[in-house]
Amino acid sequence: MKAIVQDVYGPAEVLRLRDVEQPRIGGDEVLVRVRAAGVDPGVWIVMTGRPPAVRLMGFGLRRPRVPVRGRDLAGVVEVVGARVTRFRPGDEVHGTCESGSYAEYAAAPERLLARKPAGLSFEEAAVVPVSGTTAFQAVRDTGRVRPGQRVMVTGAGGGIGTFAVQIAKALGATVTAVCGPGKADLVRSLGADDVIDYTRDEVDRDGPRHDVIIDVAGCRPLSLLRRALTPRGTLVLAGGGHDAPGPLGGYTRALLWRPLVQITTRQRLRGHTAREGAEDLAQLDRLIESGAVRPVVGRAYPLAETPEAIRHLAEGHPTGKIVVTV
């Protein structure tokens, strides 16, 4: 099969389209014919091996342990393992895999897959598992958003942010979206009640009025975000910033600053990392099927142009989520 492979850590130039063997599946795994796969900061982190701590987390010290990039996917079940009970060949599914999804085939544990919502294209379904689940858990579990609360989402026009705006709205919150001027109409169409253009105003424009802030962008000082938060509000760090992009960076920032914040104020500071699994993905799918949430696909690239897709991500501020089609 054809796949996007890397032998060493580095920039997008280390990625190559090559012929490799199809992954073998275990008894509780599913072989998926991949139709589309999402591109997110986690892919960039593993590709570059930065920050170096990720190499100690099982991704490989000197070179990537799994050479094929990509994690979330949408496609059609080709073969099922002997212990798989929820799927059969021909089923359309989406979820995450451990073998790499920038390939014609991927092996995925049954527990990480859900049925693809019938109303979604494969491209739309592929952007849900990582970014959608991250937003869903950040808003519902870490932020504990309740009806009537005021919620701010930074990075609201990106892959996680577009989901977070809609999920907070579906939970009954009043939502302020922080984004660039080119994304204001998009986030309003997703349900944002107010929009802050960060090129003209800061996040504390309206003072301490937000009960929960979901910080996806990761590029504003904590002191500034806290000035937009009520005295007993909750700040959820779901994005890391330029030095440590993705939720890993947000979680690290929270660990470093939480003791000081909680000693000096009654505000709550929480880092967020997503937990992959079919249960929350299926719950999010129900919101999608109800019409309360819709995936936003920014750009689609064919498999051979995966390096360009990751370069576009690295440039910053993509609209919605980038997808690779197979």
For residue 35, report the phi and psi dihedrals to the nearest 5 degrees: -110, -30
Length of the chain as a residue count: 326
Measured over the CA atoms of residue 92, residue 164, residue 72 and residue 324, the dihedral's sign is positive
Q: Is the pTM of this model over 0.95?
A: no
Residues 131, 74 contacting (CB under 8 angstroms): no
CA nearest to 317, candidates 218, 204, 172, 174: 218
Domains of the chain: 2-127+295-325 (3.90.180.10), 131-271 (3.40.50.720)
**Sheet with 194-197, side-by-side order of all strands:** 194-197, 174-179, 150-154, 210-215, 229-237, 268-271
Q: What is the DSSP letter of 116?
A: P
CB atoms within 10 A of CB 313: 23
CB atoms within 10 A of CB 300: 17
pLDDT at 255: 47
Residues 251, 273 contacting (CB under 8 angstroms): yes
Pairing of strands 297-302, 321-325: parallel
pLDDT at 265: 67
pLDDT at 134: 95
pLDDT at 263: 52
CB atoms within 10 A of CB 272: 24
For residue 233, report the phi and psi dihedrals to the nearest 5 degrees: -75, 170
Q: Write out residues in the chain with pLDDT < 70, as ranges.
A: 58, 240-265
CA nearest to 213, candidates 240, 188, 192, 234: 234
In the numeric block, the tokens 């100690």 are attached to 56
Residues 227, 267 contacting (CB under 8 angstroms): no
